[in-house]
Amino acid sequence: GENVEQHPSTLSVQEGDSAVIKCTYSDSASNYFPWYKQELGKGPQLIIDIRSNVGEKKDQRIAVTLNKTAKHFSLHITETQPEDSAVYFCAASEGSSNTGKLIFGQGTTLQVKP
């Protein structure tokens, strides 16, 4: 089955710096890759997603890149702000099914220092 690895587990940056979180997946049939932000006591919130027919997608300060050959995808946050502090999860769709079942990485705790 699909396996998703996420690095780093924790990341601390100064306000205004960039943050990069990387994920690898094992199932070459996976074709949908969302990223979620989770604040304490809340459910995950979708912040950006990318499909396998696209290499890069950007939404204001957030961008995601996908390398299908290498089976990895990354989240880039520019000009970080203290409110970006949260746990971030990557996920990949299970390629063998068409249900939308997602396999999640273990999460990255991002701390943005003012």
Partner 1 sequence: GAGVSQSPSNKVTEKGKDVELRCDPISGHTALYWYRQSLGQGLEFLIYFQGNSAPDKSGLPSDRFSAERTGGSVSTLTIQRTQQEDSAVYLCASSPSGGNQPQHFGDGTRLSIL
Shorter beta-carbon distance to partner 1: residue 14 or 99: 99
Shortest separation between residue 44's beta carbon and partner 1, angstroms: 5
Interface residues for partner 1 in 38-67 (CB under 8 A)? 41-46, 49, 51
> What is the Cα–Cα distance from 64 to 32, expressed in whole angstroms?
12
Number of residues counted as binding partner 1 (CB under 8 A): 28
Q: Is 102 in the site for partner 1 (CB under 8 A)?
A: yes
Q: Is 107 in the site for partner 1 (CB under 8 A)?
A: yes
Residue 83 phi/psi, 5-degree rounding, is -75, -5
- Which residues have CB under 8 Å from 44's CB, separation 6+? 36, 37, 38, 89
User: Residue 107, by phi and psi: left (phi above 0), alpha (psi -120 to 50) or beta?
Assistant: left
Q: Is 31 in the site for partner 1 (CB under 8 A)?
A: yes
Angle at 52 between CA 8 and CA 110, to 5 degrees: 20
Residues at the site binding partner 1, with contacts judged by CB under 8 A:
4, 6, 31-32, 34, 36, 41-46, 49, 51, 89, 91, 93, 97-107
